[in-house]
Amino acid sequence: MTQTDSAQNGIGIGAYIAKHIREYGLLFALIAIMAFFQIVTGGVLLRPVNITNLFLQNSYIIIMALGMLLVIVGGNIDLSVGSVMGFIGALAAVMIVTWKLPVGVAIIVCLICGAAIGAAQGYFIAYWKIPSFIVTLSGMLVFRGLSLWLLAGQSIGPFPQSFQALSNGFIPDLFMVGRPNILAMAVGVVTVLVLVWLGLRTRARNARYGIEDEPMGLFVLRNAIIAAALLFVTWKLAWFRGLPNVLLSMVILTVIYVFITERTTIGRRVYAVGGNAKAAKLSGIRTERLTFLTFVNMGVLAALAGMIFAARLNTATPKAGFAVELDVIAAVFIGGASMAGGSGKIVGAVVGAFIMGVMNNGMSILGIGIDYQQVIKGLVLLAAVFFDVYNKNKEA
């Protein structure tokens, strides 16, 4: 058939939203879920201390979702991240608490160890073509077992202050006011300005090349919502203890991964491999090496997440990271990635992780039992993917 003419420039706001329903839907879903819990928890959700908690509680999931997105876009899956995270936390505890190694050394060894674990799994997946589901399922068992062995079934802790700072530390207020924390607010304002500036620059470039872009009204509205949310959050944070260290590392990592996936050749190639590995290979892309690298990357991020998690609890426990892989994978799929590979966005995965995080947090505040929590989270995942498939069918 001849192509439909919907891709022409200058379409209305409604039509544009309909076409990009997935991206806007995700944003609205997050806002709606937050509003819902804000109301039913009687305002507890958005208290400064709870917002801070939200970031601390979910940081490790978001960090792993960044790596998981690349793995899933590349057409694979990693079931081992929860176990790897627990194992690295245990390793860190043994090195720092039991062996009294310097914290800096331990952190570096842990990251290298994470890379090595990713490399080992990636090797079998990329070069021996063993399905990632199987390799990482075995990895899940292996590293769960190894962390039990390492900890001898006990919890090890506490960590020295310098290691705890990975998670529980706050960036000191450079302006010496303390409360409200001026640095936090300044960072909020600067971030908003940078986002708007980047958005305008992209619009200008799109206009120059005649690339279809969102209508101006929608651009203003979307940025206003995001700016308001950012300023609100930083304002709240400023009235508690300021910017958590972990928030900073999360934001920096997110920015780096957005850049990698959208602007670099290596990011493009990962999408190409996930979209059609054979065509990518015949286009001169070294598909095996890329797949291998996505797993190495995942291993490093899982190691980082493991340390942050251990630092937050101030102890390494044999149960750390149990079933976390499922939350991470769910976040990526809620964020709109396709199981078949080749599509998905970093920002989507991060928002997906926040949706999971807000639900966990909100339901815990309400005192909803872990039984119902699981049921609800499961249904939300199904609903998100159903929404995706439904829209795709409507398109076709």
Binding interface with another protein (CB under 8 A)? 1-8, 205, 208-212, 263-266, 268-269, 271-272, 275-276, 278-286, 342-343
Closest approach, Cβ 134 to another protein, in A, equals: 19
**Residue in the structure block whose two tokens are 């493991």:** 306
Q: How far is the CB of 205 from another protein (least distance, A)?
A: 6
We find the least distance from the C-beta atom of residue 128 to another protein, in angstroms, to be: 16
3-class SS at 316? strand
CB closer to another protein out of 75 and 86: 75
Distance of CA 267 to the CA centre of its chain: 16
- Measured from the CB atom, the residue of 276 and 314 that comes closer to another protein is 276
Give the pair of three-digit tokens for residue 130. 């063993």
How far is 113 from 193, CA to CA, in rounded Å? 39
175 residue type, one letter: F
Tokens read off for 47: 């208290």
Residue type at 104 in one-letter notation: G
Least separation, in Å, of the C-beta of 307 and another protein?
28
Q: In the bound complex, what is the minimum distance in angstroms from residue 70's beta carbon to another protein?
A: 16
Q: How far, CA to CA in Å, does 34 sit from each of 40, 43, 134, 298, 368?
A: 10, 10, 37, 29, 16
Q: Which of 255, 259, 240, 330 is nearest to 56 (CA)?
A: 240
Shortest distance, CB of residue 342 to another protein, whole angstroms?
A: 6
CB-wise, 1 or 370, nearer to another protein? Answer: 1
The least distance separating another protein from the CB of residue 337, rounded to whole angstroms, comes to: 13
Q: State in angstroms the smallest separation of the CB of 232 from another protein.
A: 32
Reference 75, options 270, 263, 267, 297; nearest CA is 270
**Which residue number, 342 or 357, has a Cβ lying nearer to another protein?**
342
- Shorter beta-carbon distance to another protein: residue 7 or 176: 7
Other CB atoms within 10 A of residue 87 CB: 32
* Residue 170 bridge partners (DSSP): 244
Q: Which is nearer to another protein, 234 or 254 (CB)?
A: 254
For another protein, the closer CB: 70 or 183: 70
Give strand pairing partners of 156: 316
Q: How far is the CB of 264 from another protein (least distance, A)?
A: 5
SS3 letters across 167-187? HHCECCCCCCCCCCCHHHHHH
- 316 beta partners: 156
What Cα–Cα distance (Å) separates residue 264 from each residue in 224, 267, 269, 270? 29, 5, 9, 10
> Cα–Cα distance between 47 and 64 in angstroms, integer?
26
Nearer to another protein by Cβ, of 259 and 386: the residue is 259
- The alpha carbons of the chain give a radius of gyration, in whole angstroms, of 22
The rounded distance, in Å, linking the Cα atoms of 229 and 267 is: 29
The residue among 74 and 180 lying less far from another protein, judged by its C-beta, is: 74
